[in-house]
Every structure is written in structure tokens, then in C-alpha cells.
Structure 1
């Protein structure tokens, strides 16, 4: 049974980020001078708002007070994630890119099955309520190579990810009853590398492909995020258009507790199409 909630704070956060990015972009465009002609595959400024319709799969491994818990792959129903993206060309071949999306899901249910806990198979019956939220944002400075219909880009920047998990359960394990409550939030910044390609059939219709990677291997929280997408954009009006792509995202977050019950790993795979309304100037 799913809970009914009010407007998600993540959606409000998305709108705030869009406002900040648009304001900063307008300031940069105003201050730029002597702008030469650029590739028809690029816009001086573009902002995209839409949704990422994903098919999510999760895997959780964690040390608990009862032993090590391994969930195996958990497939969830397709869901729609709010997403916002932006690009600004500061000069003729350099600029900034921004991307943000969030996944939030509340789940309640009952299980009665065997589970691998502490290295052995146990009989587990439980009623559980789980709340998972993952936020992902990235900002990169990009260099575009090429002046014709095809341009290739490389970007360097930072990626931010935040994962929050609440689990409340009443369970019977091998005939012994008890409760389990776990809540943790992990967040960190990490270096980001982006690659991109754009082809302009005209200034109003383009294809693009992109890939990015975030990796952090120091500190208590480590992990990586890899993503790739292929899509198209079309502007039936001079400054208003639509875009769509198909993408894959892999998020892996590790929390080190020195071998204690604080050790945990969260592996998330998202795949599916995205659709946007786009504005450009």
C-alpha cells in the first residue's frame, strides 16, 4: 500500500535549482561580448524541464544487528522522476552544463520467505515500511570541438549524490520475534567527467549522445555513478521545442563502518526514456 504525500520537497528543490541556473546563465550572457558565430549544433543558452520514466532495480547489502543482509535484485514498478537540465555557451566553444533528477519512493509490504542472513538461510516473516530517496546533480565546464554540423565535447566538473533510507520492520526470524529500525543518509561530492556529441541536421533539429562518470574512492562514503543517453531535440518554434532520449544510470554507494553494523552498500540501476520541454535563447 502506497502512502499519499503532499508535493515532494525534491520537486520544489528542482524548481529552485532551475531558477538559480537560469539567473546565472542570463548574467553570463549579458556580460559576454563580441560573440562570434558558433556551430548550429549548439545554443547560447538552453533549459530543459521534464521527466525521466525509469525501470528501477535495487540491491542492498548491509551489516545489521542480526548479521549480514543481502537483498538480491529488487525490481520496482516503473516510475516518473522529475528532471531538469541546462546548458550555456560562454564563448564560441566553451560553456557550462547542469543536470538534476531525484528518485523518491515509499513502500509498505509483507514478506514470508527464506533470506540469506549471516551467511546462512533463515526463515523470515515480516511487515515492513521503507522510504528511499536518491538525489543526483552534476555541474561541468565543457569544451566543444568543431564548428560545423558535428561537435564533440568533453567536460570536467563535480557530481553530487545523496541517498536516504528509512526501514521499519516487525519480523519473526527462525521463530524469534523482534523489530528492526534503520535510517541513514549519505551524501558527497565527487569529480565528474562528461563526453558528448551533437549533430545538427538544421539549427532546429539535432541528434545527440552523451556519457558521464562520477567516482569517489576516498573517505567513509565511496562509490560511482555512470550514465549514458542517446536522443533528439526539435524546435518547431524559434525559442521553444521538445526533446527526448533513452538513458541508463548506474549508482553504487558504499558506506564503510570499519566492519561494524554501519557497513552498507546500495546499488541502483535506472533505465528508460526522458522527455523535455525546452527553451533556448
Structure 2
């Protein structure tokens, strides 16, 4: 068909106008009011950790049982930004870095010799958890649902001194363990806007690590309310729960941690 005919020129003009209209609509489209173009949240997580560690060492088998640590406040930071109107990235980071003083007991074999001991571990336990996820948000109104895929980095370390009795002989020894790994991350989310000043959200995430030096999983979830005192600045009240379970096969070392409690943040959105 020749583009010189009136009908061809009309079709070409119509297609061009439709294409320009589509591009203009995409350029001026707005994301759901339940989402922000970009935001940063900084705050603290108040929790009473429940920790269990066990493993075979040259000093005997360490088995702390379930240790209920003192209530503590952990720093936490979150950030997010959109690419377009329904895709974006979410970041999250928090750290547990506190004294860890459980009792020790257990029986094991080391180099073919039976070892039995009990005592006290005076140590520092540190957990670092950071994640990044690519999010896809479904919905354009006041309610949106999100699916995210990404990666999570975690690092666990215990360092201190064990004092006690091993095979009937009293003594003390330094103890240090540290492991870190990357693992795939799956996230689910929900956002609802009540008004320009108030929002509600739900998050759930799971990390599963197989292979390498460390195996295990980390599951977590949170529910929160946001209240904006200005168009850009708000306060966030949240309840969050996390379960961390890591295992190292070569010496049967395992660390299990539960962190549940309220959190509060100052949120700045752009």
C-alpha cells in the first residue's frame, strides 16, 4: 500500500497520534497513593531475644539450651524507590550485637575421645542481616499487593571465653566462631492508604540457604501503621517477628534466634 494515498496518510497519522497519546499517558501516570517514589526509614526494634547455640569443639560440646536474653533495642534502616509506577527496589538492614552469657553443658567426641563438660560462656554475639529485593506492585488504587525477589546477606559470630569443667578438669578457653553467606530471598507485601496522612502495611519474607558452609533459613513478617505529620515526614509504628536458623555441617554447629517485638521509625519520603 502506498503511503501517498489519503487513506494511508490518515492511518499513519492516527497510529502516530495513538502512540504519542500512549507515551504521554505513561509519562504522566502516577503510582498508587499507597506507594512512594522514594523513601528512607530509620529507627529501632525493641525485642527480647531467644537464642540457642550448640556445636562440637575441642573443649567439648557447647549446648546453651534456649537462652532468653535481656530486652534490648536494635538499630534498623529501610529504604525503597520506584522504577516507573509499579516496579522498584526495597532495602533492609539490622544488627544484633550484644553480650551473650549462657550456661554450657553436653557430651561429644573429639578425635575419638569422649568429652563431657559444663560451665559458662562469656561472649559477644553479633548478627548482621541485610537484604535487597526487586518488587513488582499490582494495583493502582488505595490497595496494592507486591511480590519481590532478591538476595539476603547474613553474618553470625560468637567470640568470648568459656569457663568450666571438662572431663572433671577445671579450666577456661577462648571460643570464636563466625560464618557469613548470601541466600535467595522471597518477599510478599500489601499496602493500603486510608488517607493522605495514614497508611497500613503488611510484609512477609523468607530466605532459604542450601549448600556451602552454612545451611538454614530466615523467616520474618511485620505489620505497621504510618502517620505523616507533614507531606514528606512521618512516624511509623510496627510489630515485627523473625526466626533465624543456621547450621554448619562440618562440626554440627547450629544457631537459632527468635526476635519478636515492636519497632518505631521516622520515615522521609520523596
TM-score, normalized by length of structure 1?
Answer: 0.80
Is the contact made by 1:166 and 1:183 (CA closer than 8 Å) also made in structure 2?
Answer: yes
Q: Are residue 157 (structure 1) and residue 145 (structure 2) matched?
A: no
Q: Indicate which of 154, 173, 197 corresponds to 1:204.
A: 197
The gaps in structure 2 that reach 5 residues or longer are: 1-25
What secondary structure is seen at the aligned counterpart in 1 of 2:90? strand
**CA spacing shift, 1:116–1:170, aligned 2, 3 Å:** closer
Q: Are residue 68 (structure 1) and residue 61 (structure 2) matched?
A: yes
Q: Are residue 227 (structure 1) and residue 220 (structure 2) matched?
A: yes
What is the RMSD computed on CA atoms of the aligned residues? 2.1
Q: For residues 207 and 184 of structure 2, what CA distance do their matches in structure 1 show?
A: 6
1:87 deviates by 0.9
Match of 1:47 in 2: 40
What secondary structure is seen at the aligned counterpart in 2 of 1:118? strand
Q: Are residue 170 (structure 1) and residue 163 (structure 2) matched?
A: yes
**CA spacing shift, 1:86–1:61, aligned 2, 3 Å:** same
Deviates more, 1:189-198 or 1:215-224: 215-224
TM-score, normalized by length of structure 2?
Answer: 0.83
Q: Are residue 216 (structure 1) and residue 248 (structure 2) matched?
A: no
Match of 1:276 in 2: 265
What are the superposed Cα offsets for residues 204-235 of structure 1, whole Å, 9 maximum, x if unpaired?
Answer: 21000000011111111111111001111011
Match of 1:19 in 2: none
What are the superposed Cα offsets for residues 249-270 of structure 1, whole Å, 9 maximum, x if unpaired?
Answer: 011111121xxxx331000100
1:239 deviates by 0.4
Q: Between Structure 1 and Structure 2, how many residues are aligned? A: 241
Q: Which has the larger radius of gyration?
A: 2
Q: For residues 175 and 62 of structure 1, what CA distance do their matches in structure 2 show?
A: 20
1:125 deviates by 4.3
Q: For residues 201 and 35 of structure 2, what CA distance do their matches in structure 1 show?
A: 11
Is the contact made by 1:124 and 1:174 (CA closer than 8 Å) also made in structure 2?
Answer: no
